[in-house]
Structure 1
Amino acid sequence: MLTNPSFGLLFWQLVIFLILLFLLTKFAWKPILSSLREREDSIEGALRMADQAKIEMQQLKAGNEKLLAEARLERDRILKEATEISNQLIETAKTKATEEGGRMIVQAREAIQNEKNAALAEVKNTAAKLSIDIAERILRRELTDQPAQQQLVDSYLKEVKLN
């Protein structure tokens, strides 16, 4: 009998199947399909968010690289400026040192010349004083002796006539 089912059995099996299908569709399929759709939507949303996060990460990475490149450029610029400033300071210091050295040399030369002039003046004054002292002693000695005085006056007169 099971190998040749009768029409009544087939009918009831069909009716039970349709009722079961109706009940499953009404109560089970809709919640199952809606939960599957929700799960599918959440997976798609998560994938979209992951793609968006990936894009944002790439943008952030590009932004970071750009900032890093700008920071390197700024660092290089600052180092270049610092080098230029230090070179300028060195040149200024060299120039000032050269000027100050030249000024000191000029002052030293002037001081040496002044000291030399002062020393020469002192030597001249000393020589003049010594000459006057010597002449005074000679004249005292000569003036004490009358014939020596006459001879001195005669020699001076001869020199004056010759000149």
Structure 2
Amino acid sequence: MIKLEHVPEGLHDIMKYYGSPGSLDDKGRAHIDRKWYKENIAYFELPFTLQQSWDQRIIKGFIAHNKVGLSMVDALEEIKEYGGLGFLKRYNLDQWGGVFNPRWKKGTTEPSTHMFGIAIDYCPELGPYGEESRMPCFIVEAFERRGFINLWMHDGMHNQAAKGY
């Protein structure tokens, strides 16, 4: 099992551990620091293909912070092993929501954990933002065993490598 080495708490600790991904312009758009991106973001191959939830396009890999990507892949491997690919596909448990996304937290000027590439949205339809989660326990537990925090109360699809934020 590939566990997270450290799970920072709060924005200050997140920035200290993962670095500063970028800034906000006068129109509220996020801009990623190229040096930070080059030093911290890497490509990771998925252990099985997934469908993007918004257009059903098949994906084979993703980009994430190099301190968390292998733990994400390992959690997905456990999810695949739980019931097999046929089981995941039959019950639409192969839906990808994404990892790296340079944006701010909803309604704030604080960076989203997706801006750091340290959060994964898996099966968005089962745990949409602002709604009660219907995410199967075996999926949540696969991420939690590796140290990820699941926001099941209001964002069940979201598993992040940070707490208190």
Superposed pair shares fold, TM > 0.5:
no
Tell me the TM-score normalized by structure 1. Answer: 0.19
Identify, as 1 or 2, the structure richer in strand: 2
Name the structure, 1 or 2, with higher relative contact order (CA <8 Å, separation 6+): 2
